[in-house]
Amino acid sequence: MVHPLDPGVSRRILRDMIRIRAVEEAIADRYAEQKMRCPTHLSIGQEGPAAAAGAVLDGQDLAVSGHRAHAHYLAKGGDLPAMIAEIYGKATGCSRGNGGSMHLVDEAVGFMGSTAIVGGTVPVGVGLALSLAIARKPGLVCIFIGDAVLETGVFYESAGFAAVRKLPVLFVCENNLYSVYSPLDVRQPAGRALAGVAAALGLGSSSGDGNDPQAAYSLLRTAADRVRSGAGPQFVELATYRWREHCGPMFDNELGYRTESEFLAWKARDPIPRLRQSLLSDGVIDAVWLAAVHDEIQAEIDAAFTFAEASPFPESSLASADIYSREMAPFP
Amino acid sequence: MTYAEAVRDALAVALEQDPSVIVYGLGAPDPKGVFGTTLGLQQRFGQDRVFDMPTAENAMTGVGIGAALGGLRPVLTHQRLDFALLSLDQIINNAAKWRFMFGGRRGVPLTIRMILGRGWGQGPTHSQNLQAVFAHIPGLCVVSPATPADAKGLLLSAIFGEDPVIFLEHRWLHGARGETPAGDHRVPIGRAHQLRQGGDVTVVASSILSLEALQAVDHVAAQGVACDLIDLRSIRPLDWEAIETSVQRTGRLLVLDPGHETGGVAGEIIARLTTRCWGHLRAPPRRLAMPDAPESTSPALTQGYHVRAEHIATAIGELLGLQLESASLSRRSHPHDVPGAEFQGPF
Ligand SMILES: Cc1ncc(C[n+]2csc(CCOP(=O)(O)OP(=O)(O)O)c2C)c(N)n1
Ligand SMILES: [Mg+2]
């Protein structure tokens, strides 16, 4: 079924994409100041899947993600100042500075955690779904993954269990063609579609263009509706492309692991102008709306960085805190 | 040459010399070549023998075991030790036990390089040195070289030996320089190297802590304190004789451990040496290890997390009941969380 975007949803997706891009670019611009001292994986260019998923998920839904999680956290409604402060290693960060860019969390909005080991949160997401199912709670768990996750054993083990128990899981797979510098063809046999693998595992499965936010929304919405109706776990593969280097703020096409022409072809398919043009010509938004959105976002980002910079670092005593519950007090 | 170049040199020598050697791992042929350690090897030795792999650490370890049983000498590389944790099953249940559980028929000549991350917010799951976990397992060898020459020599011994070897290489050592013999240079596994001679205190170190200790030992030497500095090089098997001979002379033992304190290798060394050299000891042995806490990403919480030269110099003084000057060792021209001023992140 095709879900046409209603004006509210389409404005939300466009706004989220613009916001995510602006946040990521602000991080990239300031990274050289050397105050954000942690490995940082940006989502510039691949905002489409995250924003579309954000529009599909409800407040009661949960989400987990991996190393490249800024977009997922923000699209789920995660607290922006807490994320920026986390990247700065500050006490006000969402993980009190312990986790950095790769360990984001905002339980208040159902973002249950992103971690740095590829595939590490896949079974955790399935377990969260098990907890919803056993407690007969509404909602689903969205597990954001990259293409490399379909190489990990834990994906297969987790997907199998989710399918057996028909758990409320929505896998959102951002296929950006690369794992670090490794193209898909050294990791998957020629001609294999990731969505096909998921289907063979017993997941409801579909695939489409993640840089076409309307198409992505429609696929995700259909899949989420199926999960909510009790049809069991669903998998949506969305094609997209990372513009910057795997980790860090720079461009890295000069390394030669991908061609400039491939990069330019994907840049021409930038999801943001695509949706913006379509909404402008349909009269859903106008220049005034865009200008206001831009100003709001800029002010919000400036405030988040000011907050992060002004926040204190954690007290040194916290280096050995939060390891056990209070009852399991550490060694003397 | 640098440590990274020495690793690459060892791999090239092995690949050149023996067609059964293969080298693989995530990013092995990529443009950065695993911090330079595999650069150019695929071009030189071909895609059959030097290759990338899927993000499937456990399976690819088992594949290495099978390949080794089939007559190859595989070298598997992990960009972080933390990623190799997914392969603990294959390492511990298969590689370490194959020889034993089939009655000594055949061993597994598999070398697994694991890079130890540190600094620039590597944080809780990109910076662990779990040498004790591997050293705990009968059937595994664990080496942790500190110098380019030892990196080359131990890697070649690992590749051409008959047992599985965990080869721990510290990310901050990759840029370190040192004389490195050309050709098929081997360093025997299980033999320590004495870096300094002196009768007052025995300092036992490994990996990057050997370099920190060298600084500290030279610093206190200028204050009249002479230490034996033993660079272990191998964690298992461990050169007990080298430590014992030294402690019998000095009666004072300081062990440096780049892993967490509880259950660590330093505890094992102190336990054995205390049992065997009780009559020679003139002071309670001491250890300096990582705290029993995961490493935070926040730079504010990693100040003082790692053992550095100044801590070592202070501890040497305490073992002797002396107040030695050590504060000047803590003055560095770059922040504590990078190996040198030139490092700008993000790795
Ligand atoms: C188990 C494990 N192996 C290797 C790595 C190193 N690593 C970090 S990100 C990454 C690439 C993952 O690619 P993908 O899932 O496609 O996500 P993308 O970076 O493209 O968004 C790898 C291999 C890791 N973090 N964990
Ligand atoms: Mg990818």
Q: What is the pLDDT of residue B312?
A: 98
Q: What is the pLDDT of residue A211?
A: 98
B319, amino acid identity: L
Which among A1, A51, A58 has a CA at the least distance from the CA of A22?
A: A51
Number of separate domains in chain A: 1
Q: Do B123 and A98 touch (CB under 8 A)?
A: yes
Nearest residue of B to residue A156 by CA position?
B56
Look over chain B and give the mean of its residue pLDDT values, rounded to a whole number.
Answer: 97
B219 classed as catalytic: no
Q: For residue A313, is it within any domain?
A: no
**pLDDT at residue A196 greater than cutoff 70:** yes
B43 CA → ligand 2 middle, Å: 25
Distance separating alpha carbons of residues B153 and B147, to the nearest angstrom: 10
Is the ipTM higher than 0.90? The answer is yes
If you average pLDDT over residues A243-267, what whole number do you get? Answer: 97
Q: Which of A43, A172, A179 to mutate to test the pocket of ligand 1 (most atoms within 8 A of CB)?
A: A179
- pLDDT, tens digit (0-9, with 9 covering 90-100), for B280-317: 999 999 999 999 999 999 999 999 999 999 999 999 99
B258 Cα to chain A: minimum distance (Å): 17
Class of domain B193-329: alpha beta
- The residues near A213 (Cβ < 8 Å, ≥ 6 apart) are A13, A14, A17, A48, A51, A52, A271, A274, A275
At A197 the three-state DSSP class reads: helix
* B54 in contact with A, Cβ within 8 Å: yes
A201 CA → ligand 1 middle, Å: 22
Q: Do B30 and A180 touch (CB under 8 A)?
A: yes
Which among B145, B174, B187 has a CA at the least distance from the CA of B79?
A: B174
Task: Name which residue sits closest to atom 3 of ligand 1, judged by CA.
Answer: B83
Domain ranges of chain B: 3-173, 193-329
H runs (alpha helix) in chain A: 7-31, 47-56, 70-75, 80-87, 122-134, 153-164, 194-200, 213-228, 260-267, 271-281, 287-310
| Ligand 1 and A45: CB distance under 6 A | no
Mark residue A77 as left, alpha or beta (left: phi above 0; alpha: psi -120 to 50; beta: remaining): left
- In chain A, residues with a C-beta closer than 8 Å to the C-beta of B171 are none
The position carrying tokens 């990247």 is A87
**pLDDT at residue A293 greater than cutoff 60:** yes
* B323 in contact with A, Cβ within 8 Å: no
- In chain A, residues with a C-beta closer than 8 Å to the C-beta of B126 are 39, 116
Domain pair B3-173 / B193-329, same fold: yes
Closest CB to B301: pick one of A319, A323, A331: A319
Distance separating alpha carbons of residues A82 and A91, to the nearest angstrom: 9
- In chain A, residues with a C-beta closer than 8 Å to the C-beta of B51 are 186
Query: Widest CA span of chain A, in angstroms?
Result: 68
**pLDDT at residue B346 greater than cutoff 90:** no
Q: Specify the ligand 1 atom closest to the Cα of A68.
A: 21
Q: How far is CA B329 from CA A253, B146, B312, B315, in A?
A: 41, 20, 10, 13
Q: How far is CA A82 from CA A38, A305, B135, B301, in A?
A: 15, 10, 40, 18
Q: For residue A329, is it within any domain?
A: no
* CA distance between the termini of chain B: 22
Distance separating alpha carbons of residues B252 and B280, to the nearest angstrom: 9
**pLDDT at residue A329 greater than cutoff 80:** no
Distance separating alpha carbons of residues A124 and A139, to the nearest angstrom: 16
| Ligand 1 and A68: CB distance under 6 A | yes
- pLDDT, tens digit (0-9, with 9 covering 90-100), for B16-34: 999 999 999 999 999 999 9
Band of residue B343 on the pLDDT scale cut at 50, 70, 90? confident
What domain range is A86 assigned to?
Answer: 7-178+186-307
| Ligand 1 and A146: CB distance under 6 A | yes
- pLDDT, tens digit (0-9, with 9 covering 90-100), for B41-98: 999 999 999 999 999 999 999 999 999 999 999 999 999 999 999 999 999 999 999 9
Look over chain A and give the mean of its residue pLDDT values, rounded to a whole number.
Answer: 96
Pairing label, strands A141-146, B234-236: unpaired
- pLDDT, tens digit (0-9, with 9 covering 90-100), for B252-289: 999 999 999 999 999 999 999 999 999 999 999 999 99
Please say whether the beta carbons of B45 and B20 come within 8 A. Answer: no
Q: Output helix, strand, coil percentages for chain B, rounded to the nearest 5.
A: 40, 15, 45
B55 CA → ligand 1 middle, Å: 7
Nearest residue of A to residue B124 by CA position?
A99
Q: What is the CA radius of gyration of chain B?
A: 20
* A313 in contact with B, Cβ within 8 Å: yes
> Distance of alpha carbon A75 from its chain centroid, rounded?
7
Task: Concatenate the DSSP letters of all residues of A228-245 into one string.
Answer: HTT---EEEEEE----S-
Q: What is the pLDDT of residue B86?
A: 98
Q: What is the pLDDT of residue A134?
A: 97
Q: Do B293 and A323 touch (CB under 8 A)?
A: yes
Q: Write out residues 23-62 of A within 8 Å (CB-CB) of B.
A: 31-32, 34, 37-40
What is the token pair recorded at B294? 């995961």
Q: Do A180 and B31 touch (CB under 8 A)?
A: no
Angle of helix A7-31 relative to helix A213-228, nearest 10 degrees, comes to 110
- pLDDT, tens digit (0-9, with 9 covering 90-100), for B146-187: 999 999 999 999 999 999 999 999 999 999 999 999 999 999
Q: What is the pLDDT of residue B341?
A: 76
**pLDDT at residue B251 greater than cutoff 70:** yes
Q: What CATH number is given for B3-173 in this structure?
A: 3.40.50.970
Band of residue A85 on the pLDDT scale cut at 50, 70, 90? very high
Q: How far is CA A230 from CA A127, A204, A225, in A?
A: 17, 12, 9
What is the token pair recorded at A42? 């940006």
Task: Name which residue sits closest to atom 19 of ligand 1, judged by CA.
Answer: A179
- pLDDT, tens digit (0-9, with 9 covering 90-100), for B125-137: 999 999 999 999 9
Cross-strand pairs, A144 = A172
- In chain A, residues with a C-beta closer than 8 Å to the C-beta of B122 are 38-39
* A250 in contact with B, Cβ within 8 Å: no
Q: What is the pLDDT of residue A2?
A: 67
Q: What is the pLDDT of residue A330?
A: 58
Nearest residue of B to residue A99 by CA position?
B297
A133 CA → ligand 2 middle, Å: 30
DSSP state for residue B30 in the 8-state scheme: S
- pLDDT, tens digit (0-9, with 9 covering 90-100), for A280-291: 999 999 999 999
Q: Write out residues 252-291 of B within 8 Å (CB-CB) of A.
A: 262, 291
Q: What is the pLDDT of residue B347?
A: 62
Q: Specify the ligand 1 atom closest to the Cα of A120.
A: 1
**pLDDT at residue A104 greater than cutoff 60:** yes
- In chain B, residues with a C-beta closer than 8 Å to the C-beta of A249 are 346
Q: What CATH number is given to the structural domain containing A14?
A: 3.40.50.970
Q: Specify the ligand 1 atom closest to the Cα of A147.
A: 16
A149 CA → ligand 2 middle, Å: 9
Q: Which of A46, A47, A65, A67 to mutate to test the pocket of ligand 1 (most atoms within 8 A of CB)?
A: A67
Q: For residue A11, is it within any domain?
A: yes
* A253 in contact with B, Cβ within 8 Å: no
Cross-strand pairs, B193 = B231
Type and span of the H or E element at A207: strand A204-209
Nearest residue of B to residue A100 by CA position?
B297
